[in-house]
Structure 1
Amino acid sequence: MRDWLIRLRKNKGLTQANIAEQVFIDRSYYTQIEQGKRDPSIGVAKQIAKLLQFHPSLFYSEFLDSPLEEALKDSPVIVAHCDRQLRYTWICNPHLNIDWEACIGKRDDEIIMNEGSIALMNIKRQVIEKDIIIRKRIWFLISDRTLLYDVYARALKQEGEIIGAITVSTMLKSIRGE
């Protein structure tokens, strides 16, 4: 099951029939895509992704180890995309306590609410609104640790239009809580 896809659809208030109709495919085909029984063609993946606002590579990340994912595996680096509403549309190598599927369609403050999450959201908002690059260090309280990340953020563009933000966050320090 592609639970992340079902969650995104429901968050938009859409039914399987709504999606199938809007991307010009049969409803049963879309149902099979949600169930993980079929993978969409690249064209269909792009249409569904555009409608639900996520990166189409999510359809294929379940079974393909891309060179980026393999390179980042177990590293202190997190790479992510978000939309203009600051909701994750793609994430690679999130913190160990966070499941990547649970991040899709959510803002940072909906995943973990703390000062670090708010600071990260503010950076993304500025990058989107001003089309600037920001690099800043942010402390996050996650589980029993306080983590210092060096965050690099810039606008994510498609055909010249800003559609969100890209962030690359590198953990610099980890301090165990008491």
Structure 2
Amino acid sequence: MTQKDVANQCFIDRSYYTQIETGNRNPSRYVAINIAKVLNFDPSVFFTEELSSPFQLALQNVPIVIAHCDLELKYTWVFNPHDDFIDNDTIGKKDKDLANNEGIDKLTVLKQRVINSGISGQCIIRFPLSNGWTNYLVFASPLVDSLGHVTGVATSSINLSNLEPLGVNVKEQA
């Protein structure tokens, strides 16, 4: 699809689209949503810089992986992947493209069930990784558009393997 095709389908000027594509201009929310629909990706990609700074600061030391997948279970966004996958370009790939094991099979089943039912789910999944077997508590929720149609699945996966109680008592303040 050419820049002209995308611009025409989004009802914007081609030069404006070119500036968006090269990163010289940020689209409005409305334009971002239209471009995302035409190119079949999540419009939040346009605004991740604005949202990511406090998000990254809050989660920088938390053993959690957050991801979005489309209806075909291809990754459209990933935050904080395990070190085994940092060098892989996960965007546009399915889990089976990245690894093939029992944990991947269970993750795929969970994601597909959430997409098919439109209902969130969770389970503990054990993955064989370079640092040994690792247990993740995986939460999966449907991604929906403004009309309520499921467009994909979001997952939050917490690495349970290295979690230890701190032994700190926290008292509520009245």
- Pair in the same fold by TM > 0.5: yes
Q: What is the 5 A alignment of 1:89-100?
A: 89-99=76-86
Aligned-residue Cα RMSD (Å) equals 2.5
Q: Secondary structure at the match of 1:129?
A: helix
CA contact (8 A) 1:53 1:89 kept: no
CA contact (8 A) 1:54 1:90 kept: no
Q: Select the residue among 16, 19, 43 that pairs with 2:6.
A: 19
Task: Tell me the alpha carbon deviations over residues 15-37 of structure 1, each in whole angstroms, 9 at most, x when there is no partner.
Answer: 32221221122233323322222
CA contact (8 A) 1:93 1:100 kept: no
Mapped to 1, the partners of 2:160 and 2:127 lie a distance apart of 11
Match status 1:156 vs 2:143: yes
Q: Secondary structure at the match of 2:78?
A: strand
Match status 1:114 vs 2:101: yes
Match status 1:68 vs 2:46: no
Mapped to 1, the partners of 2:2 and 2:53 lie a distance apart of 31
Task: Tell me the alpha carbon deviations over residues 79-130 of structure 1, each in whole angstroms, 9 at most, x when there is no partner.
Answer: 2222211122333222234349933332222233333223211111011112
Q: TM-score, normalised by structure 1?
A: 0.76
After TM superposition, where is structure 1 displaced by more than 4 Å over at least 4 residues in a row?
none
- How has the CA–CA distance of structure 1 residues 31 and 115 changed in structure 2, closer, same or farther, with 3 Å as cutoff? farther
Mapped to 1, the partners of 2:21 and 2:84 lie a distance apart of 25
CA contact (8 A) 1:20 1:26 kept: yes
CA contact (8 A) 1:91 1:100 kept: no
Structure (1 or 2) with the larger CA radius of gyration: 2
Mind listing any 5+ residue stretches in structure 1 that lack a counterpart?
1-13
Mind listing any 5+ residue stretches in structure 2 that lack a counterpart?
163-174
Mapped to 2, the partners of 1:154 and 1:53 lie a distance apart of 19
The worse-fitting range, judged by mean Cα deviation, of 85-94 and 59-68 is 59-68
The worse-fitting range, judged by mean Cα deviation, of 85-94 and 149-158 is 85-94
Of all paired residues, the percent bearing the same amino acid is 44
Q: What is the 5 A alignment of 1:74-153?
A: 74-99=61-86, 102-153=89-140
Number of residue equivalences: 161
